[in-house]
Structure 1
Amino acid sequence: MAEETNLSLNGVQRAAVLLMAMGSENAAEVLKHLNPKEVQSLGAAMANLENVNKVTMGGVMDDFISEVSNQTSVGIGQEDYIREMMVNALGQDKANSMIDRILLGSGNKGLESLKWMDARSVAEVIRLEHPQIISIVLSYLEPDQSAEVLKMLPERARPDILMRVAALEGIPPAALQELDKIMEKQFSGTQNVSQNSMGGFKTAANILNFMESSIEGAIMDSIAEHDQDMQEGISELMFVFDNLNDVDDRGIQALLREVSTDSLTLALKGAEEGLKEKILKNMSKRAAEMLREDMEARGPVRLSEVEAAQKDIISTARRLAEEGDIVLGGSGAEEMV
């Protein structure tokens, strides 16, 4: 019974249950070691948990203790264990940059402090720095925060900065040390750092995925004028609304539970017929009929409104993918057998 209850919880919810079972002081110590997005996700999960009984809580704790007991033993190197655990939990790409920060202990305090600031404040801190420094900062931040920061920077500077992000092939120690010294002028502390795998086409694509379509288009057009291969490489890695065609029916249904009818009505006004039908077939007959009626009743709408609604849905899809609830299609999707 406990096992069945536990299976209904996703990873974030299980972590939230575990933190609640630890007590506020111990949970606070754990949260100190997480980044802002992780803290926000766990906080929201704890706030939304309902009717967590002793059986469920005990089951989650038993699973955690069992997992730790099975994976740690005398003779296993601490660093190897951490690397294996993080790769298994997050996948190779997401784990790479995080592993070094964990193994370094306190990490880059100056850079980490930027993650807790609003986009305008970050832009104010870095706006007078060299574009290469700005590109490293944007590579270090989460893509959605980087997109907001980039919007706050001068329009003429955006393409150059994003091209530098795409051209990064890992950050050498000297560059990170210099950047941490710059941040130290505003914030506290710094530590020696090791090679960190940030930047590249995928990072640039992730940042653009969170930007308004008009800004995204202007940046990509400018990049194409300077480097057509780079523009094509970034484009191939971007997740756009039409890519929802590659999401399986179960994933579409999970996405629909998270999306408002108003956003969906607007977004589908600019979608191809194949995608419209894919989404409609994953709705109940009555809901699909109501959505068709809403689209017809809405009449002509501004393209900017449609694009904004599609961006919102894409953002929701990416969040669900990060939480493991859906698998996004495209080159990064794993083949099912």
Structure 2
Amino acid sequence: MAVKELNQTEQAAVLMLAIGMDRAAQIFKHMNRREVQILGTTMANIEEITPEMVDQVVEDIIIAVKSRTSLGMDTDSYIRTVLISALGPDKANSILDRILQGGSTRGIEQLKWMDSRAIADMIRLEHPQIMATILSLMDSDQAAEVIMFLPDNMRSDLIMRIATMKGVQPSALRELDEIMEKQLTGSENVKATTLGGIDAAANILNYMEGSSSDLVMSEISELRAELAQEIQDKMFVFEDIATMSATDMQGLLREIATGQLLLALRGASQDLKEKVFNNMSRRAAEILRDDLEASPPARVSDVEAAQKEILSVVRRMVDSGEIKLGGGDGGRDAYI
């Protein structure tokens, strides 16, 4: 690959492979799941890194990079070590399945760049199990968007299929790969990977609009009450933030913009508001109280959007081990 042919993602991948595991891990911590997967996949697919590539990408720090270079190493091992260091084993392994084993699911990777409505239109006539598999391969927020563009009567069935999915055999993924090849650009052979499950279903529901999520859960409860309870146990809502310890709450508040917090608290209980106030400086808490009282009415959809953005921060921090839910006064012990 010539230097001039490198796109921005490939340049970033060269840099990550050149700066060493520890530094790369620190950078990954500041990326979201989709960014990690895209960059990790690119790192895994780079066949050769030349000195010219490094010179172009690193520029002013070329001497430091060459002294700590990771060039010529086993990239699979490198990526595995970096991701586990950055994200923890649970989160990293699910991404590693897609990068190192599922790197050949390129049709799915192309879906990640498509409009959610277009994806829904493309898959709506497929067998429900194929649809569920495709949704399981997506990030939870994107899968939730796609489901919202599918007919109401499909949603609960798809969530149940995702929740009860124990894994996908190579033959099934090859079939899916062939379908994607017909509709997109095709792919190569596919290796087995673990998809779906209760966690995947719960995460997708967490990203769906509140009313739609409630309706899906209600339908699943009527059909399979035990399954619905298992999914519900894995879900968390904005009010669950109140179960954090004081230390974890303070850590979370440092990561949230004041305006975002102000909007999200418009729909919060008084108990949660007090938990937030108690973990701020006296002056900051007074200002936030005054702003809450003086701020004009906000649309429910805007409040829910702000809460979901904060929950995304919570997920990231929980996955990285920075905080946990259920660590506060009388909170639940479960991790998410």
With normalisation by structure 1, the TM-score equals 0.72
Instruction: Tell me if structure 2 keeps the 8 A contact 1:267–1:310.
Output: yes
Q: How many angstroms does 1:222 deviate by?
A: 0.9
- Paired residue for 1:333? 335
Amino acid of the residue matched to residue 138 of structure 2?
L
SS at match of 2:155: helix
Q: 1:310 aligns with which of 307, 310, 316?
A: 307
Does structure 1 residue 216 correspond to structure 2 residue 213? yes
**Change over 3 Å in CA distance of 1:295–1:154 after alignment to 2:** same
- Paired residue for 1:158? 155
- The CA distance in 2 between the partners of 1:171 and 1:115, in whole Å, is 20
Q: How many angstroms does 1:102 deviate by?
A: 4.0
Moved more, 149-158 or 182-191: 182-191
Q: 1:126 aligns with which of 123, 126, 137?
A: 123
Residue correspondence of structure 1 range 71-110 to structure 2 within 5 A: 86-104=83-101, 106-110=103-107
Residue correspondence of structure 1 range 215-294 to structure 2 within 5 A: 215-294=212-291
What's the % identity of the aligned pairs? 45
- Deviation string, structure 1 residues 261-317 (Cα, Å, up to 9, x no partner): 343234323333332222112222222112112222347766555434322321232
Q: 1:37 aligns with which of 31, 35, 38?
A: 35
- Deviation string, structure 1 residues 181-235 (Cα, Å, up to 9, x no partner): 1110122232222221110000001111111111111111111111111111111
Structure 1 residue ranges without an equivalent (≥5) = 1-14, 23-33, 43-51
Q: 2:188 aligns with which of 186, 191, 197?
A: 191
- The CA distance in 2 between the partners of 1:270 and 1:216, in whole Å, is 17
**Change over 3 Å in CA distance of 1:82–1:306 after alignment to 2:** closer
SS at match of 2:166: coil
- The CA distance in 2 between the partners of 1:236 and 1:138, in whole Å, is 21
- Deviation string, structure 1 residues 17-49 (Cα, Å, up to 9, x no partner): 945988xxxxxxxxxxx985237899xxxxxxx
**Change over 3 Å in CA distance of 1:291–1:184 after alignment to 2:** same
- Deviation string, structure 1 residues 106-165 (Cα, Å, up to 9, x no partner): 511212211222212211211111111111011000111111111111112111111111
Q: 2:166 aligns with which of 169, 172, 178?
A: 169
Amino acid of the residue matched to residue 327 of structure 1?
I
Instruction: Tell me if structure 2 keeps the 8 A contact 1:36–1:116.
Output: no
Instruction: Tell me if structure 2 keeps the 8 A contact 1:109–1:190.
Output: yes
SS at match of 2:228: helix
- Paired residue for 2:44? none
Amino acid of the residue matched to residue 315 of structure 1?
S
**Change over 3 Å in CA distance of 1:172–1:277 after alignment to 2:** same
- The CA distance in 2 between the partners of 1:212 and 1:262, in whole Å, is 21
With normalisation by structure 2, the TM-score equals 0.72
Amino acid of the residue matched to residue 314 of structure 1?
L
Structure 2 residue ranges without an equivalent (≥5) = 1-11, 20-31, 41-57, 327-332
- Paired residue for 1:10? none
Amino acid of the residue matched to residue 145 of structure 1?
Q
**Change over 3 Å in CA distance of 1:36–1:101 after alignment to 2:** closer
Q: How many angstroms does 1:240 deviate by?
A: 1.3
Q: How many angstroms does 1:175 deviate by?
A: 1.3
Equivalences, count: 290
Amino acid of the residue matched to residue 244 of structure 1?
I
* Structure 1 consecutive aligned stretches of length 4 or more whose deviation exceeds 6 Å: 39-42, 57-62, 78-82
- The CA distance in 1 between the partners of 2:77 and 2:39, in whole Å, is 28
- The CA distance in 1 between the partners of 2:85 and 2:185, in whole Å, is 33
- The CA distance in 1 between the partners of 2:255 and 2:79, in whole Å, is 33
Instruction: Tell me if structure 1 keeps the 8 A contact 2:37–2:99.
Output: no
Instruction: Tell me if structure 2 keeps the 8 A contact 1:165–1:203.
Output: yes
